[in-house]
Amino acid sequence: MSVLVSGGAGYIGSVTAEMLLGAGRRVVVVDNLTRGHRSAVPEGAAFVEADVRDSARLEAILGEHGVECVMHFSASSLVGESMTDPGEYFGNNVVGVIRLLEAMHTQGVRDFIFSSTAATYGEPPEVPIPEDAPVRPTNPYGESKATAERILRWYETIHGFRFAALRYFNAAGASRDHGEDHDPETHLIPLALSAAAGERESLAIFGRDYPTPDGTCVRDYIHVQDLADAHILALGKLGETKENAFNLGNGEGYSVLEVLSAVERVTGKQVPAVDAPRRPGDPARLVASSARAKKILGWRPKRVTLDEIVRDAWAWKQRFPEGYGD
Ligand code: UDP
């Protein structure tokens, strides 16, 4: 079976492509390389530089490579950026999905694994968050993913698509060869590692006045290889369950200050930090209940402690100090 991995030159897509190849699947990566890196595409995967919004191109790729399933990672995914440029988020994440689904429909491909997000929930009324919590996003990024999930349900009802929407909490860590390299980098763990390494003057702590134990935001960090595992399991279960949405997290929340302590423990270096205002769109606390993914997909995260996750991110950074170098 051939799997099309859109965004396979990006962080989570490249790790998943690597694991799909390891599991004996044929993989074709489609990426427009605006944020991805050509050298992140794992060896053994076919690569086509294309945008998912280019339906005609996508139709041709689906046909030529005998694709039976699409894993859709390519998206704009920054909460802060979505609060200043909503058009980019609805264009790339909603229009992009529709064009991709239409190309699939034309080619008779109906299996779809979708990268969704905890940001669909907004400020959740209960934590850990179950999948049936209200979907009330507090930023256009979450809104774009929630909208795409609803669109997918119609393709399921009308065209017989089979899909899983995997709602990631905070992806972190790295495999040996694939890690996080964004430009600009906005994520907490890579920024803290970079501050510890002396590459940046300090890390800004976005808000200390949240209703959390130490006043900083709490997030659920999940190892990127555990996320990749869940994609492969979800692919194997398509059509076997009525459930489409699955949270992927560890079920443990860590504050920004706890993450900084973990980075200091793992690196043995201090993280210079300064207080900064809240980042617009940030909910106070996002922690997953992943009971459904465990029960239905048989998912078992293997690298669960914050220190393990940070250690792998640090190891990758030391192995690739310039990231992917492009
Ligand atoms: N954060 C921070 N300083 C930074 C980057 C992030 O304090 O330089 C905080 C951010 O407000 C959030 C948490 O760290 O509460 C995780 O942010 P990240 O951007 O890594 O992921 P997100 O939760 O937005 O997906």
Q: Which residues pair with 163 in a beta bridge?
A: 112
CATH assignment of the domain containing 232: 3.40.50.720
Distance between CA atoms of residues 217 and 222, nearest Å:
16
Same domain, 110 and 231: yes
- The answer to whether residue 87 sits within a structural domain is yes
Backbone angles phi, psi at 99, to 5 degrees: -65, -40
Same domain? 94 vs 229? yes
Same domain, 6 and 107: yes
Give the whole-angstrom CA distance, residue 172 versus residue 178: 11
Report yes or no on 295 lying in a domain.
no
Q: Within the chain, which residues score under 70 in pLDDT?
A: none
**Residue the block writes with tokens 């294309």:** 50
**Same domain for 128 and 99:** yes
Same domain, 107 and 192: no
Residue 98 to residue 54: CA distance in whole angstroms: 11
pLDDT of res. 230: 98
Give distance in angstroms: CA of 236 to centre of ligand 1: 33
Centre of ligand 1 to C-alpha 58, Å, is 34
Domain that holds residue 256: 188-219+251-287+300-319
Per the domain annotation, does 8 fall within a domain?
yes
Helix 306-319 × helix 188-196 angle, to 10°: 60
Residue 233, pLDDT score: 98
CA gap 278, 295 in Å, rounded: 36
Residues 138 and 196 in one domain: no
Domain CATH for 207: 3.90.25.10
Name the domain count of the chain.
2
Q: Ligand 1, residues 12, 129, 182, 188: which to mutate, most atoms within 8 A of Cβ?
A: 188
CA of 52 to the centre of ligand 1 (A): 28
Residues 6+ away with beta carbon under 8 Å from 22: none
Residues 35 and 150 in one domain: yes
Catalytic member of 11, 89, 121, 141: 141
| Cα angle: 83, vertex 188, 166; to 5 degrees | 70
Q: Is 119 strand, coil or helix?
A: helix
